[in-house]
Structure 1
């Protein structure tokens, strides 16, 4: 049975929308009738995605966005307001991971890049998204954390810190706005088939099977289904939650 997410004409921002989970979510939201406002660092990738959405009968806008720059985050929200008059929801998905290293051997620039994009970028986006939502009666936000926002892994202390920070900030923001009709939740994906996953595995889809109770990696559509549910009124009593979409890994 097809689930009607009731997102017709909702204005929804997606950061990191050009590839992987963000791209799939942008397409799924457009198919559900939402007006999607995409932020991504690559102008070509963003323009191509908008063209694909529009060709399929959907509505979308794009702006080159570097979430480490507060002005870019503010401008992406402003684009949604300019084009559609409001902001109803957001999927703060932009993220980055660098090389695996022991903490004492991790380059300083990796600390800055990963925390600036994953954690501070999400905070900047929420700052401006929430301000816009408060003006029009509320909304819903989903932040992309990771299973590593809930547990740890060797040689990624900087990344684990950023993802745990996303989970903590999500919970705190949910409390701040619980009585102001803004819901804030996080998804915690396990290994998902994306271009960044392929770079790590060399395209081996089964490299991590033994570490997943379901003995397979996830697909981007499975993340999009969780995002759409959390952004819809079907989850109207859910806020401050972390939804694990990880094949059972967080249960171990």
Structure 2
């Protein structure tokens, strides 16, 4: 129960890594605000992990909309009285295998606006709330492809690189405010969406990791939970790979 009496906000919490992150924080004792573009998925997760609805709150908010994120943070404080922790996980990948010159402008905007500007919008309102509480921690979800190049997915690669820069800048700004900011960079993770892409695709994804398998959602959630916990009290501004050796190649 390392997060007992803590309040955490998780974006993109309706499925995939976000769902596992919210579940892990709730299991650790936190009250958790689950944010998603669509309300139904986060409501389902809340009912599954917290049937009585005592320690969870499902909110519809699009991270691309700064006013929506301001409202989500305000509603979190109204419900639970404060905000201690945040995991900025919402993002989209966009299509694969598209050279830079062929990327559609609306696809570029959607990927950048969700996966990079959306994290900026989230942090813009999370930071004052956490600062008012006196201390806290933020984890931003980047990717192994935020550390290396990836042909055919320029927008996603740019967004995830940008998340790391945003994380480092914020960590320096907040280093004396008892607020830590880190980034996590997973390789391919066995989320439902990835597992539904077919054996040929998942076998290829596993093969690019030297460990020859996918990460589990629980492994990613455990790393994020560690970084949010007091066990990581001297860790800030850093990027933590969980990629089976992918970026060591």
TM-score range, shorter chain: over 0.9
Distance 1:84 1:217, change over 3 A: same
The structure 2 residue matched to 1:29, chosen from 18, 25, 29, is 25
Taking the TM superposition and a 5 Å limit, the aligned residue runs for 1:25-64 are: 25-55=21-51, 59-64=55-60
Distance 1:113 1:57, change over 3 A: closer
- Gaps of at least 5 residues in structure 1 are none
Counterparts of 2:193 and 2:71 in 1: how far apart (Å)?
27
Distance 1:198 1:176, change over 3 A: same
TM-score (normalizing by structure 1): 0.95
- Assess if the C-alpha contact under 8 Å between 1:31 and 1:58 holds in 2: no
Aligned to 1:158: 155
Counterparts of 1:186 and 1:122 in 2: how far apart (Å)?
11
Aligned to 2:145: 148
The structure 2 residue matched to 1:222, chosen from 219, 222, 227, is 219
Aligned to 1:195: 192
For residues 84-138 of structure 1, give each alpha carbon's deviation from its aligned partner in whole angstroms, at most 9, with x where no partner exists: 1110000000010111200111111111000000000000100100010111102
Counterparts of 2:184 and 2:65 in 1: how far apart (Å)?
24
The structure 2 residue matched to 1:183, chosen from 173, 180, 183, is 180
For residues 140-183 of structure 1, give each alpha carbon's deviation from its aligned partner in whole angstroms, at most 9, with x where no partner exists: 00000000110011111111111100000000100000001110
- Gaps of at least 5 residues in structure 2 are none
Aligned to 1:80: 76
Counterparts of 1:125 and 1:37 in 2: how far apart (Å)?
13
Deviation at 1:56, TM superposition (A): 7.6
Deviation at 1:207, TM superposition (A): 2.1
- Assess if the C-alpha contact under 8 Å between 1:53 and 1:59 holds in 2: no
